Amino acid sequence: MTPLEKDSVRPEPDALSAGLYVVATPIGRLSDLSLRATDVLRRVDALGAEDTRVSRQLLDHIGARPTLIACHAHNEARTAQALVERIRTGQAVALISDAGTPGISDPGARVVAAVHAAGLPVIPVPGPSAVITLLSAAGFLEPRFRFEGFLPARATARRERLQELAGSQDVVVFYESPHRIVETLDDLANAVEPERVVVIGRELTKRFEQIHRAAASTLPQWLAEDSDRRRGEFVIALDAAPPADTLQATDAVPMDALLRALCAELPVRQAARVAAQASGLRANDLYKRAVALRGRAATEADLSDTDVTDDADQA
Ligand code: SAM
């Protein structure tokens, strides 16, 4: 393991060197601001902030007084050049978003790209991000994950995306707002096998933090039981789809073809039941396989004219 470097071994100089410091800030709990982030925010000359009113609270808390420059989704390209000019003249400039890591479902990437393009240093100051915070507490054995940011807001597009993600062999993580959490968890429960494990992180690091790990099919009921569970900020992680080799290799090719044909005519659950009767295999395994095939079809568009719906889709 690479030994950690102590700041005292290599002390920071009095003035920070010129560059863009991309600083992660807390996603809820102020004390999650790192010592290094605190030090950098106190010493930079200027700071690009997504919402200067939000950032001022954090900066006041640590007694930092850099020049604040609004840098949000609507002015990022323009502001990027202004920040580049400051760095060119020797200034240390920080970039923060309202919460978490800049550039992760937040503005920041354009500024970072502009600084790279100008040949100037970009220095990450890592810290909280909701996606990594939830993954660390999810307990999924699959090490690979796919981060989706926010799913599409429109219902049809969101359902299509979830159908595609249902077959992902990587863990899938996405953000969701409280306005759409009920619809999204309904759609998720319809898109994956009933027992697929989902972990919901609500209000992570905050007073009412909640981490709920349960089968997908139970989530709509869980949300309905308590209105508090529908409040706050959410990040959701979906376990990887079961491996395609759940079925015997010798069975897999003809069974895939049978499932595709049945799914073209029947809802997925019914298709799985018919295939189970015909083959003697477990309906549950066949259901998982059919869902995985449907996800793959959405990705590769190789079943683009096959309308594969299940009971819930038709409701
Ligand atoms: N840049 C941030 C990061 O690194 O996580 C994400 C910004 S994105 C605009 C905001 C979304 O992140 C929220 O709508 C929510 O889905 C998720 N999020 C942020 N803080 C969270 C928290 N404390 N608990 C759960 N989800 C959170």
pLDDT in tens, 231-248: 999 999 999 998 876 555
Q: Nearest to residue 280, comparing CAs of 307, 255, 311, 313?
A: 255
| Distance between CA atoms of residues 20 and 124, nearest Å | 8
Phi, psi torsion values for 235, nearest 5 degrees: -135, 140
Is the pLDDT reported for residue 128 higher than 50?
yes
Q: Is 32 exposed, middle or buried (0-12, 13-18, 19+ CB in 10 A)?
A: middle
- Ligand 1 centroid, distance to 131 Cα (angstroms): 8
Of 3-12, 119-128, 208-217, 278-287, give the lowest mean pLDDT range.
Answer: 3-12
Question: Quick one: tokens of 314?
Answer: 């038709």
Q: What is the pLDDT of residue 312?
A: 37
Mean per-residue pLDDT over the chain, rounded: 89
Is the pLDDT score of 32 beyond 80? Answer: yes
**pLDDT value of residue 272:** 87
282 token code pair: 């477990």
Longest Cα–Cα distance of the chain, Å, equals 76
Specify the pLDDT at position 304.
38
Ligand 1 lining (C-beta closer than 6 Å): 27-28, 97, 99-101, 104-106, 129-131, 175-177, 201, 203-206, 233-235
293 Cβ contact partners less than 8 Å away, ≥ 6 residues apart? 167, 256, 259, 260, 263, 303
In ligand 1, the atom with minimum distance to the C-alpha of 209 is: 24
Mean pLDDT of 173-177: 98
Which pLDDT score, from 0 to 100, does residue 147 have? 98
CA 108 to ligand 1 centroid distance, Å: 15
- The span from the CA of 260 to the CA of 106, in Å, is 40
Where does residue 185 fall: left (phi above 0), alpha (psi -120 to 50 degrees), or beta otherwise? alpha
From CA 164, how far away is CA 244, in angstroms rounded?
15
Which whole number is the average pLDDT over 43-51? 97
pLDDT reported for residue 293: 82
The rounded percent of the chain whose pLDDT value lies above 90 is 71
Closest residue by CA, ligand 1 atom 16: 175
**Can you give the pLDDT at residue 14?**
72
- End-to-end CA distance of the chain: give it in Å, rounded: 54
Mean pLDDT (whole number) for 8-14: 58
For residue 10, is pLDDT > 60? no
- The pLDDT score that the predictor gives to residue 310 is 38
Atom 26 of ligand 1, residue of closest alpha carbon: 234
The helix (run of H) or strand (run of E) holding residue 296 is helix 283-300
